[in-house]
Amino acid sequence: RVAVIGGGVSGLSAAYLLQKNADDAGGGPKSVKAQSAPSTPSCGAVTLFEASTKLGGHALTQYSSTAKCDVDLGFQVFNLTTYPHLVGLFGELGVESEPSDMSFSLSTGDVEWGSIGLKGVFAQKSNAMSGRFLNMIREILRFGREAPEVLAPERASEFADVSLGEYLKARKYSAFFQESYVVPMCAAIWSCSDDDAMAFPVRTLVRFWVNHHLLNIIERPLWRVVSGRSSAYVDAVERELKDVRKGAYVTKVYRVAGGVSVTFKTEDAKGKVQESTEVFDDVVFACHSDQALQILGKAASEEEVSALSAVKYQENDVYLHTDETMMPRNKDAWASWNCLRGDRLGIPAEEAANRSVCVTYWVNLLQNLAPGTKDLFVTLNPPREPKAGSVEHKVTLAHPLFNKAAIAAQEEIKALQGKDRVWFCGAWCGYGFHEDGIKSAVDCVDKMLGKSSVPWMPRSCDPKLSMSTKMVLPLFQRACVGWLPADKRLRMILPDGSERLMMGKEANASSETITMTVFNQRLFMQTILRADIGLGECYMNGDFDVDLIGFMDMICKGHPAASGAETESCKPKMRLDPVGLLTEAVNWVGAQMEMAAHKALSNTKEGSRKNIEYHYDAGNEFYKLFLDDTMLYSSAIHGAIDDAAMSAQYLKIDAMIARAGIKPGDRVLEIGCGWGTCAIRMASEKNCHVTGLTLSHEQHAEATARVKAAGLSHLIDIVICDYRDVQGTFDKVVSIEMLEAVGHEHLPTFFGTVHRVLKPGGRAAIQVITMPDGRYESYCNSESDFIRAYIFPGGHLPSVGAMKSASPRGLVLEGYDDIGLHYAVTLRLWRERMMHHAQRILSMGYSRKFLRMFEFYFAYCEAAFANKLIYDLQMTW
């Protein structure tokens, strides 16, 4: 049992990660259970304690009667470049975001300027003629060039103990630059006083500015806000947790034999306070460091006291209001962040330098309030209360201050993690922001579990779109539009945080929209050049995230064959304009390259062995995590469309037994016996003799063991043998989804073998995934695809016509049924089971790239079957 104390971003993240890993180790709900597999380090029950009756901490959402919607008062913005874990968490939770604005303005007694265009910079007309103001602009550029010098490794000792104020003085930056740019910017970012900002260690501060691209004048990452406000992600996390104790104020934590004791107080509906104590295996302090120290009390070690007491906090009053006097006087200077200084505070300069910064957030611009909404503001530490009647809400929030002692304490805490089962995390372990809070939770849980705990891929995007990206992006957008169904939309968030919206020809603002977040710019060229192979490869590499099955379903619905418009085409045609023609040309070049690579993987005897081993020798333990106990890697027949029972697989086998007309005493050849379940079913149900063929050593070992365990070794022989080499004759031949590994040029050999080994009057039952006859020629000759490139090298879907043409005289197709819609359900179940066990799969040594490859493969095929672009036929010959 693990107790997490504190329901802010760090506590929510730590509890979420611990819960996810506990669920994975426990096997999960019935609908996603597969076979048992080796256990991994995990925790059991997770309990989250929060003193307040509301989770979130600084993720503080408040309803505004002015805006008639929720607004955020604490955490508000993030970007794709410097918030990789937060973006990953949002993606995991399905939390949507939208573009925001991070402009800045300063208002003093004699100077006002804003960063929204030249109109904002020169909102005060005298700025254009002011020597000190124009010099400030020059010094902003100079600071951007020079400041990174403090990060040079060879100069680390030179700047190790230098504060921002000392650095600016040594480099002779003007007082106006300091007072009108650097200091208010730092104070606004960290919600601290001017003096505290000037005391920041310069190396730490410049590293932060560099990481956040704040020294760049252009091509900074674009900022975003949570579409449903921060409560959207807080509520989403809470729904995932099983034991949340809101209104539970932890008063004492102390170590006991074999665990940690947690004492907490709660209050019932009548106001009666009750004190309780529970013992946990581990405790995670996800609150402020001073709160952790207070709770530990005398039980804190000397090292804990030293580290936790080193971090100081600044309390800041936060008002939600409508008083415009808390903004720059000149409305042209208004921005998202507005810092008031000097005479605007109405207090002496000496006192102002020691007080917390006064900054007003213009909520309408920052959080995208509806047009026409009365101006709404959030102000930190106003010099006076906003006008009477304008205040909607007031709260006090504490922010950590970062000086040399606090930075040193961050290193000390790392050495204390897990000592006597006590752990620490919080935004104070980093720069004090939401990303720091999540990262500290990730580091804490990773160390506790001894493995990577995150189900997402943390990726930092380059906010600078390259020239090649800017050239190929229109081609990518054109291709996307070509694949979109008429009534659908694709919303794409680019690595710099900007967005593109692509619409079907009949789509409107209310149409179904799929959101794709792009993390790496290579997606665009790879997809144009290599179609679905490039798209799938980029997904494997984590270059983009999307609701994968929703996206695949949308693409399949946009396929020409799905609409019936062009049944012989494998892809939509581009408009005959320069962009469309260039898109077609680039794709044609890539298609020829991929097709040549595929044809090099011919299924000769040696080629077949290598191609089969590539896929099936990935490891039986991996397949056990998403297949059921039958270990059947082919479509089931589901009695009910959501039936996840093993009986669905047996229905499939029984249907094949009936097609073949297997009787007691028959000699049956199974070409492609997999892990042996079909052979066992045939022998046990019909008392027939079965010879099963496989080319996979992993499958041979597992199937042989299963046959022996079933007590059927006298009826079943599992052999490693190519179908071309089989000897003898048989009454029946059964083959379930093996024919896809034969290849077009070897179809005559396969059917010739079936005809050769069948006794006169014998029958064959073959289940095979097929391509429609109308698209078969294009499929064979035009281009390869993701499945043939990555999943089944040498794989090939035959068509009914191709199989009939390849069959020798005397082997006649009698009939078939399509179970493709059932395959879509089977694939969904496989995908859900596999992704439920994602952390376990990674802990077994498989890479995240391997996991995402299978996820893409399952979704790709599920959507294709669901939209009847391919079929799964049970055939009788």
Q: Annotated active-site positions, please?
A: 861
> Among residues 360, 355, 369, 373, which one has the least CA distance to residue 323?
360
Sign of the Cα torsion 615, 620, 621, 626 reads positive
Find out whether 130 and 137 touch, Cβ atoms under 8 Å.
Answer: no
Q: What is the dihedral of CA 859, 865, 867, 873, to 10 degrees?
A: 180
Spacing of C-alpha 637 from chain mean position: 32
Find out whether 410 and 390 touch, Cβ atoms under 8 Å.
Answer: no
Angle between helix 84-93 and helix 434-449 axes, rounded to 10 deg = 80
Q: What is the dihedral of CA 25, 28, 30, 32, to 10 degrees?
A: -90
> Among residues 668, 628, 669, which one has the least CA distance to residue 652?
628
Neighbouring C-beta atoms of residue 370, cutoff 10 Å: 9
Q: What is the DSSP letter of 387?
A: P
Cα–Cα separations (whole angstroms), residue 570 to 361, 554, 558, 692: 52, 16, 11, 36
Backbone phi, psi, residue 174, to 5°: -70, 155
Distance CA 659, CA 327 (A): 80
Can you tell me whether residue 738 is helix, strand or coil? Answer: coil
Can you tell me whether residue 646 is helix, strand or coil? Answer: coil
In this structure, the chain runs to a length of: 877
- Which residues on adjacent β-strands are paired with residue 317? 396
Cα–Cα separations (whole angstroms), residue 858 to 12, 33, 36, 799, 845: 31, 17, 21, 21, 21
Angle at 161 between CA 159 and CA 164, to 5 degrees: 75
Angle at 60 between CA 284 and CA 73, to 5 degrees: 135
> Among residues 525, 560, 534, which one has the least CA distance to residue 778?
560
Angle between helix 697-709 and helix 605-616 axes, rounded to 10 deg = 70
> Among residues 664, 679, 672, which one has the least CA distance to residue 630?
679
Write the DSSP assignment of 400-428 as a string of letters. EE--HHHHHHHHHHHHHTTGGGEEE--GG
> Among residues 635, 62, 619, 657, which one has the least CA distance to residue 391?
62
Find out whether 49 and 5 touch, Cβ atoms under 8 Å.
Answer: yes
CB neighbour class for 736 (10 Å; exposed up to 12, middle 13-18, buried from 19): buried
> Among residues 537, 624, 539, 536, which one has the least CA distance to residue 844?
624
Q: Which two tokens mark 391? A: 């205040």
Find out whether 668 and 689 touch, Cβ atoms under 8 Å.
Answer: yes
Distance CA 284, CA 440 (A): 11
Angle at 859 between CA 580 and CA 613, to 5 degrees: 105
Query: Residue 271: which residues within 8 A CB-CB, separation 6 or more?
Result: none
Find out whether 165 and 199 touch, Cβ atoms under 8 Å.
Answer: yes
Find out whether 430 and 436 touch, Cβ atoms under 8 Å.
Answer: yes
Distance CA 587, CA 582 (A): 8
